[in-house]
Protein backbone atom coordinates (compact mmCIF):
# COMPACT_ATOMS: atom_id res chain seq x y z
CA UNK A 1 0.00 0.00 0.00
CA UNK A 2 1.18 3.49 -0.84
CA UNK A 3 1.73 5.46 2.41
CA UNK A 4 1.61 8.82 0.59
CA UNK A 5 -1.80 7.96 -0.86
CA UNK A 6 -3.10 6.89 2.55
CA UNK A 7 -1.80 10.10 4.13
CA UNK A 8 -3.49 12.22 1.45
CA UNK A 9 -6.78 10.35 1.86
CA UNK A 10 -6.59 10.67 5.66
CA UNK A 11 -6.26 14.45 5.26
CA UNK A 12 -9.21 14.48 2.83
CA UNK A 13 -11.45 12.45 5.13
CA UNK A 14 -10.47 13.14 8.76
CA UNK A 15 -13.68 11.52 10.07
CA UNK A 16 -12.74 8.13 8.58
CA UNK A 17 -11.04 5.44 10.61
CA UNK A 18 -7.65 4.09 9.63
CA UNK A 19 -9.37 0.94 8.32
CA UNK A 20 -11.77 2.93 6.12
CA UNK A 21 -8.85 4.92 4.66
CA UNK A 22 -6.99 1.68 4.02
CA UNK A 23 -10.07 0.27 2.23
CA UNK A 24 -10.27 3.37 0.04
CA UNK A 25 -6.56 3.21 -0.82
CA UNK A 26 -6.77 -0.48 -1.71
CA UNK A 27 -9.90 0.17 -3.80
CA UNK A 28 -8.01 2.84 -5.75
CA UNK A 29 -4.98 0.62 -6.24
CA UNK A 30 -7.14 -2.38 -7.16
CA UNK A 31 -9.34 -0.47 -9.60
CA UNK A 32 -12.60 -1.35 -7.83
CA UNK A 33 -16.04 -0.16 -8.79
CA UNK A 34 -19.50 -1.02 -7.49
CA UNK A 35 -22.79 -1.61 -9.29
CA UNK A 36 -25.34 0.78 -7.82
CA UNK A 37 -28.44 -0.28 -9.74
CA UNK A 38 -28.99 -1.46 -13.29
CA UNK A 39 -27.51 1.26 -15.46
CA UNK A 40 -25.46 2.98 -12.71
CA UNK A 41 -21.99 2.43 -11.27
CA UNK A 42 -19.98 3.89 -8.39
CA UNK A 43 -16.29 4.42 -9.19
CA UNK A 44 -13.52 6.41 -7.57
CA UNK A 45 -12.12 9.42 -9.40
CA UNK A 46 -8.39 9.18 -10.00
CA UNK A 47 -7.82 12.55 -11.64
CA UNK A 48 -9.41 15.94 -11.93
CA UNK A 49 -11.47 16.72 -15.02
CA UNK A 50 -9.00 18.78 -17.06
CA UNK A 51 -9.35 17.64 -20.68
CA UNK A 52 -12.36 18.80 -22.65
CA UNK A 53 -14.23 16.52 -25.03
CA UNK A 54 -17.16 18.19 -26.80
CA UNK A 55 -19.42 19.58 -24.05
CA UNK A 56 -17.94 17.44 -21.23
CA UNK A 57 -14.64 17.15 -19.40
CA UNK A 58 -12.75 13.87 -19.07
CA UNK A 59 -11.43 12.34 -15.85
CA UNK A 60 -9.96 8.94 -15.05
CA UNK A 61 -11.80 6.62 -12.64
CA UNK A 62 -11.37 3.14 -11.22
CA UNK A 63 -12.97 0.23 -13.01
CA UNK A 64 -14.61 2.14 -15.85
CA UNK A 65 -11.56 3.95 -17.21
CA UNK A 66 -12.64 7.42 -18.16
CA UNK A 67 -15.73 9.30 -17.10
CA UNK A 68 -17.33 12.37 -18.64
CA UNK A 69 -17.97 15.25 -16.27
CA UNK A 70 -20.30 18.17 -16.95
CA UNK A 71 -19.20 21.78 -16.58
CA UNK A 72 -21.29 22.00 -13.37
CA UNK A 73 -19.52 19.03 -11.75
CA UNK A 74 -16.02 19.78 -13.05
CA UNK A 75 -14.84 21.70 -9.94
CA UNK A 76 -16.05 18.84 -7.72
CA UNK A 77 -14.08 16.08 -9.43
CA UNK A 78 -11.07 15.16 -7.28
CA UNK A 79 -8.94 12.10 -6.65
CA UNK A 80 -10.52 9.96 -3.95
CA UNK A 81 -14.13 11.09 -4.47
CA UNK A 82 -16.74 8.54 -5.43
CA UNK A 83 -18.54 9.26 -8.69
CA UNK A 84 -22.00 7.95 -9.45
CA UNK A 85 -21.96 7.42 -13.21
CA UNK A 86 -24.49 6.24 -15.72
CA UNK A 87 -23.48 3.03 -17.41
CA UNK A 88 -23.45 2.87 -21.16
CA UNK A 89 -21.15 3.55 -24.06
CA UNK A 90 -19.86 6.57 -22.15
CA UNK A 91 -19.83 6.82 -18.37
CA UNK A 92 -21.25 10.23 -17.45
CA UNK A 93 -20.86 11.47 -13.86
CA UNK A 94 -24.15 12.39 -12.21
CA UNK A 95 -23.04 13.02 -8.63
CA UNK A 96 -19.90 13.01 -6.49
CA UNK A 97 -19.84 11.59 -2.97
CA UNK A 98 -17.29 11.73 -0.22
CA UNK A 99 -15.99 8.33 0.90
CA UNK A 100 -17.78 8.57 4.28
CA UNK A 101 -21.09 9.37 2.52
CA UNK A 102 -20.61 6.44 0.16
CA UNK A 103 -19.91 4.08 3.07
CA UNK A 104 -22.93 5.42 4.98
CA UNK A 105 -25.25 4.93 1.98
CA UNK A 106 -23.98 1.38 1.46
CA UNK A 107 -24.29 0.42 5.12
CA UNK A 108 -27.78 1.90 5.48
CA UNK A 109 -28.97 0.39 2.16
CA UNK A 110 -29.86 3.85 0.84
CA UNK A 111 -28.30 3.37 -2.60
CA UNK A 112 -31.61 3.02 -4.51
CA UNK A 113 -32.95 6.26 -3.00
CA UNK A 114 -29.63 7.98 -3.63
CA UNK A 115 -29.60 6.96 -7.30
CA UNK A 116 -33.25 7.95 -7.73
CA UNK A 117 -32.62 11.38 -6.21
CA UNK A 118 -29.51 11.92 -8.33
CA UNK A 119 -31.26 10.96 -11.56
CA UNK A 120 -34.18 13.26 -10.81
CA UNK A 121 -31.66 16.06 -10.07
CA UNK A 122 -33.04 16.72 -6.59
CA UNK A 123 -29.65 15.75 -5.18
CA UNK A 124 -26.66 17.02 -7.16
CA UNK A 125 -23.11 18.25 -6.96
CA UNK A 126 -20.96 16.98 -4.11
CA UNK A 127 -22.65 15.20 -1.22
CA UNK A 128 -21.17 14.51 2.19
CA UNK A 129 -22.73 12.58 5.09
CA UNK A 130 -24.54 15.56 6.69
CA UNK A 131 -26.13 16.61 3.39
CA UNK A 132 -27.13 13.05 2.58
CA UNK A 133 -28.71 12.46 5.99
CA UNK A 134 -30.53 15.79 5.88
CA UNK A 135 -31.84 15.19 2.39
CA UNK A 136 -33.11 11.68 3.11
CA UNK A 137 -34.68 12.76 6.41
CA UNK A 138 -36.60 15.61 4.81
CA UNK A 139 -37.42 13.56 1.74
CA UNK A 140 -39.23 11.05 3.95
CA UNK A 141 -41.31 13.89 5.33
CA UNK A 142 -42.00 15.21 1.81
CA UNK A 143 -40.61 18.67 2.38
CA UNK A 144 -37.50 20.67 1.68
CA UNK A 145 -34.81 20.78 4.31
CA UNK A 146 -33.32 23.84 5.99
CA UNK A 147 -30.69 24.13 3.29
CA UNK A 148 -33.36 24.13 0.61
CA UNK A 149 -32.44 20.80 -0.93
CA UNK A 150 -35.07 18.20 -1.50
CA UNK A 151 -38.57 18.14 -2.87
CA UNK A 152 -40.58 21.32 -2.70
CA UNK A 153 -43.09 21.77 0.06
CA UNK A 154 -46.74 21.75 -0.93
CA UNK A 155 -47.96 25.24 -1.78
CA UNK A 156 -44.55 26.70 -2.56
CA UNK A 157 -44.22 28.75 -5.78
CB under 8 Å to 154, separation ≥6 — which residues?
142, 143
100: CATH: 2.40.50
Domain that holds residue 67: 33-141
Number of domains in the chain: 1
**Confidence at residue 18, expressed as pLDDT on a 0 to 100 scale:** 94
Domain-located, residue 38: yes
Which of the residues in the chain have pLDDT under 50?
145, 151-157
**Confidence at residue 95, expressed as pLDDT on a 0 to 100 scale:** 93
State the pTM of this model. Answer: 0.83
CB under 8 Å to 130, separation ≥6 — which residues?
none
Q: Which of 62, 65, 64, 116 is nearest to 94 (CA)?
A: 116
Domain-located, residue 127: yes
Amino acid sequence: MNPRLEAKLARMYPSCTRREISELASSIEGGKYWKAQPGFVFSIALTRARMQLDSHWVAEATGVGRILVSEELKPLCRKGRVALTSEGREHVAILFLGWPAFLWAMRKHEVPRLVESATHRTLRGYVGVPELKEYLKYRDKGMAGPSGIGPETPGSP
